[in-house]
Amino acid sequence: MTVNFQAPKGTRDFYPSDMAVRRYIEDIWRSVSVRHGFQEVDGPTFESLDLYKVKSGDEIISQLFSFVDRGERDLALRPEFTPTLARMVAQKAAGLPRPIKWFSIPRCYRAEQPQKGRLREFIQWNVDFIGDASERADRECLAVCVDALLEFGLTASDIRIGWNHRELFTKALCSTFVAPQRISNAYYILDRLQKYDVQARHALYQQQQCTELERENFDAIAAAVNSPQLLAAWMNSWPADVRDSINAFEQRLADKGLAEICRFDLSVVRGLAYYTGFVFEVIDAQGQNRAIAGGGRYDKLIEMFGGPAMPAVGFGMGDVVLEILLRQRNKLPANLMPPADVFVINALEDSAAADQLIAQLRRSQWNSEHSKIIRRGLNVQTSYRSTRNIGKLLQEASGCGARVAVILAAEEINRGMMKLKNLVDRTETDVAVPDVLNRIHALLTDSQAMV
Ligand code: HAM
C-alpha cells in the first residue's frame, strides 16, 4: 500500500532552485544589515504562549500554532520575532552595549488562511534598533529597509512606503471624531480600510458598532488615503501641533532623500498592539500585493517583559510577497544556482587519480589576483555517469556552469600531463600534472569568474 503525503497547507518545499532564490534574498538582507552596523541574533522557534498574549494583539493570537508539551507547558510556534527579541533584551539589558542594533532572519508560523503572499510558514527579516528614542533611529531603520529594496532592484515605481505616527494620529482622531474609549476599535477599522471593499467596510462598521459620525469619518479617511487634496483638507481639522510634527517628520525624510518613496498614509496603523509611535508599511506601488514589510516604534514592550524602560524601533520583511514582487517585476537574476568552478572529467579506467585531484581542488587555497582575496576551496563537480565519452561529459561540464574542465585521459596521463579546457573560449592545453592546480587558478582568475 502506498500513501501519498503532501506538505502541510501553507508551507513550502525548497527544491534546489527555490533554495537558491531563498539564499539570494537572505544574502541581501544579511549584507545590508551588516553594512548598516546591525548584528545577527536568533532565538527559539517556540516560546511560552503567554509571551504572545502580552502585547501582540488579538489577530496574531488567533493565528497561533499552539500546543502543550509533556510538562503541561503552553507553548506556541513564533508568529513573529519581536516578542522574543524584547524578552532577550529584557533578560540581559544591563550587560548589552547601547544602542542595540540587531537583525534576525527567523522562520515564523501563522495559522492564516493561505493566500497569495500569505502562508503558514514564512521567513521574516527583522531589523531592530533598541535604546534610542530619537527620530534618527526611526529614519535609520527606514533607510535599511529602503537600501535592501533598492539592492533587489526595486525602485520608487515598484514600491511605496506609507508611514503614520500612532501617538500623533490618536491625538488627531480623539480631537475630531473618536471617543478615547473607542480608540482600539478605530485602529481595528483603520487597519482594514484599504483591504476591504465598500460592502465589507460597512459590515465592519456594523460589527464594530460604529456611530453615524464614525462611519462618515472612516469613509472620508478611506477616500483621503489616495487623494493628497482630501487628505490636506481633512488634516486642517487636526490640532496644529500634530500637523506641524507630521510636516516636520516628512521634511526630515525628504532631507534623507526618501521623499519619493515615503508618504504619510492614514491607513497605515499596523495590526500589532505594541506599536507606540512612528509606524510604516512597505506596499506594492501598483497595489497588487499584500504588504511587503511593516514595522514601527514599540517603546514599552521591553519594560513590559521585565526589562528597563528602553525605546525600540524596527521592522519585519517577509520573503513571500517580496519574491512574488521580484518575479512580477523581472528583478530576480536569471540563474541563481551557484556555478561550478571546475569540472573534472575522468576517462581513465580507475577513478583514484580523479578523486585525488577533486579533493585537492576542493581544499585548495589561492590568492586571486583579480579580486585580491584569498579563496579557500573551489567548487568542483564531476560526472556520476558511466560514460567516458568526452564530448558528452564536456556538455555536462558546461551545463553546470563550470569555467574550466580538467580531462584525465590515458593518452595525456601516460605523458605525465592532464588536459585543461577553458570552457569560456573553448581553448585547450596540456599541462604537466604538478602544474595543474596553479594553471586552473590562473585560468579562473583570467576568466574573471572568481569574485
Ligand atoms: P507584520 O506586519 O506582522 O509585523 O509582518 C511583517 C511582514 O512579515 C509582513 O509585511 C509580511 O511581509 C510578512 N508576513 C507576515 N505574515 C505573513 C504570512 N502569514 N505569510 C507571509 N509573510 C508574512 C511583524 O511581524 C513585526 N513583528 C515586525 C517588527 C519587527 N516590528 C518591529 N520589529
Domains of the chain, each with CATH number or no CATH: 16-328 (3.30.930.10), 342-446 (3.40.50.800)
- How many other β-carbons are positioned within 10 Å of the β-carbon of residue 361? 21
Environment class of residue 229 by beta-carbon count within 10 Å: exposed (0-12), middle (13-18) or buried (19+)? exposed
CA 309 / ligand 1 centre spacing (Å) = 24
| Number of alpha carbons in the 13 Å side-chain half-sphere of residue 437 | 15
**119 Cβ inside 6 Å of ligand 1:** yes
Environment class of residue 225 by beta-carbon count within 10 Å: exposed (0-12), middle (13-18) or buried (19+)? middle
- How many other β-carbons are positioned within 10 Å of the β-carbon of residue 392? 13
Phi, then psi, of 200 in degrees rounded to 5: -65, -35
| Tens digit of each residue's pLDDT (9 = 90 or more) over 28-37 | 999 999 999 9
Q: How far apart are the C-alpha atoms of 47 and 305, rounded to whole Å?
A: 13
- Residues 328-334 have a mean pLDDT of 95
Q: How far apart are the C-alpha atoms of 51 and 78, rounded to whole Å?
A: 10
| Number of alpha carbons in the 13 Å side-chain half-sphere of residue 147 | 17
Closest CA to 295 of 50, 128, 447, 451: 128
- How many other β-carbons are positioned within 10 Å of the β-carbon of residue 372? 7
Q: How confident is the model at residue 377 (pLDDT cuts 50, 70, 90)?
A: confident
Q: How far apart are the C-alpha atoms of 445 and 369, rounded to whole Å?
A: 7
**141 Cβ inside 6 Å of ligand 1:** no
Q: How confident is the model at residue 277 (pLDDT cuts 50, 70, 90)?
A: very high
> Residue 374 pLDDT > 70, yes or no?
no
> Residue 416 pLDDT > 60, yes or no?
yes
| Tens digit of each residue's pLDDT (9 = 90 or more) over 168-218 | 999 999 999 999 999 989 988 998 888 888 899 999 999 999 999 999 999
Q: Which of the residue ranges 3-7, 119-123, 232-236, 335-339 has the most confident prediction, judged by mean pLDDT?
A: 119-123
Q: How far apart are the C-alpha atoms of 331 and 335, rounded to whole Å?
A: 12
- Give long-range contacts, CB 8 A cutoff, 24+ apart: 240-248: 242/168, 242/169, 242/171, 242/172, 242/175, 245/165, 245/168, 246/165, 246/168
**279 Cβ inside 6 Å of ligand 1:** no
Q: Which of the residue ranges 66-70, 190-194, 283-287 has the most confident prediction, judged by mean pLDDT?
A: 66-70
Q: How confident is the model at residue 451 (pLDDT cuts 50, 70, 90)?
A: very low
Q: What is the mean pLDDT of the chain?
A: 92
Phi, then psi, of 241 in degrees rounded to 5: -65, -30
Structure confidence at residue 235 (pLDDT): 86
CA 103 / ligand 1 centre spacing (Å) = 14
- Residues 338-346 have a mean pLDDT of 94
Contacts for 102 with CB less than 8 Å, ≥ 6 apart: 38, 39, 40, 41, 85, 126, 127, 128, 130
Q: How far apart are the C-alpha atoms of 379 and 272, rounded to whole Å?
A: 45
Q: Three-state SS for 275? A: coil
List the residue whose alpha carbon is closest to atom 17 of ligand 1. Answer: 118
| Tens digit of each residue's pLDDT (9 = 90 or more) over 120-130 | 999 999 999 99
- Residues 70-86 have a mean pLDDT of 96
CA 315 / ligand 1 centre spacing (Å) = 8
**122 Cβ inside 6 Å of ligand 1:** yes
Structure confidence at residue 372 (pLDDT): 58
Give the CA-trace dihedral at 25, 322, 121, 123, to 10 degrees: 30
Q: Are strands 293-297 and 365-368 parallel, antiparallel or unpaired?
A: unpaired
Q: How far apart are the C-alpha atoms of 125 and 206, rounded to whole Å?
A: 37
Query: In this structure, what C-alpha cell is assigned to residue 268?
Result: 497605515
- The residues with which 282 forms a beta bridge, in sequence order, are 161, 293
Entry pTM: 0.91
CA 292 / ligand 1 centre spacing (Å) = 8
Where is average pLDDT lowest: 338-352, 358-372, 408-422?
A: 358-372
Structure confidence at residue 48 (pLDDT): 95
> Residue 449 pLDDT > 90, yes or no?
no
Structure confidence at residue 365 (pLDDT): 78
User: pLDDT exceeding 70 applies to what percent of the chain?
Assistant: 96
**314 Cβ inside 6 Å of ligand 1:** yes
- Residues 420-431 have a mean pLDDT of 95
**112 Cβ inside 6 Å of ligand 1:** yes
* Total residue count of the chain as it appears in this document: 451
Of residues 406 and 228, which shows the higher confidence score?
406
Q: How far apart are the C-alpha atoms of 194 and 198, rounded to whole Å?
A: 10
Q: How far apart are the C-alpha atoms of 448 and 451, rounded to whole Å?
A: 7
CA 272 / ligand 1 centre spacing (Å) = 10
Q: How confident is the model at residue 450 (pLDDT cuts 50, 70, 90)?
A: very low
In degrees, to the nearest 5, what angle opens at C-alpha 426 toward C-alphas 421 and 431? 25
- Residues 160-167 have a mean pLDDT of 93
From first CA to last CA, the distance across the chain in angstroms is 51
Environment class of residue 22 by beta-carbon count within 10 Å: exposed (0-12), middle (13-18) or buried (19+)? middle
